[in-house]
Amino acid sequence: MAYFNLDLARLEGYGLPVAARELLIALGLYKVRRFLSQGLRLRTACDLEPCGDLKATKPETFTVRTEPELLAAVLLIEVSFPTGRFHATPWGRHVNEGVPEWPPTPYRLVRALYDVWKRKRPDWPQSRVAPLLATLAATLPQFYLPPASASIQGARQGDAATQQVKGH
């Protein structure tokens, strides 16, 4: 039997915001779950195997989330735009309508990550990437967005939007 101790009282005592405390708890539990699910060969020649699911003893009401749930809780994707611009047309809209897709749809993000995997890291096995993509596809993201504005720079000369901007 193995015991892992996550000192919830100490985390509470730090006076962190609730979101920060929840992130630390999720990260700690995710590391324990990963340790248990990825094989337990320690420094000895013994191969250990879990004989049941992970459970909390105190407090009794504490529920240990599954590995995919914990991954979703600790996963953060930061997207930067080196030119300070993002150009994406929502599905079903024409590029000349001047309607931006902001924030990016989850489908666009997952598709971009899949593309990067296949082009930049083709040596990574599917078993490494598929759980991440499945988690991203199954959970709606929370966005923390900078201020943004729509631009009509792509509008054609004769468009009503262009004429309004020029004062015609």
pLDDT of residue 119: 94
pLDDT of residue 115: 93
The number of beta carbons lying within 10 Å of the beta carbon of residue 42 is 8
Measured CA to CA in angstroms, residue 41 lies from 33, 36, 37, 47, 127 at distances of: 15, 10, 11, 5, 20
The domains of the chain are located at 8-74, 95-166
Q: Is the pLDDT of residue 120 over 90?
A: yes
pLDDT digits (tens, 9 = 90+) for 63-115: 888 887 887 777 777 777 788 777 788 888 888 787 888 888 888 888 888 99
Considering 20-24, 124-128, 158-162, the range whose residues carry the highest mean pLDDT is 124-128
The continuous run of DSSP H or E covering 40 comes out as strand 40-41
Average pLDDT, the chain: 77
> Among residues 84, 87, 88, 73, which one has the least CA distance to residue 142?
73
pLDDT of residue 34: 82
> Among residues 154, 160, 150, 165, which one has the least CA distance to residue 94?
154
Q: Is the pLDDT of residue 144 over 90?
A: no
- Percent of the chain exceeding pLDDT 90 equals 8
Q: Is the pLDDT of residue 163 over 50?
A: no
Measured CA to CA in angstroms, residue 96 lies from 24, 45, 90, 151, 155 at distances of: 45, 65, 11, 11, 6
Confidence of residue 161 (pLDDT cuts 50, 70, 90): very low
> Model's pTM, two decimal places?
0.51
Q: Is the pLDDT of residue 28 over 80?
A: yes
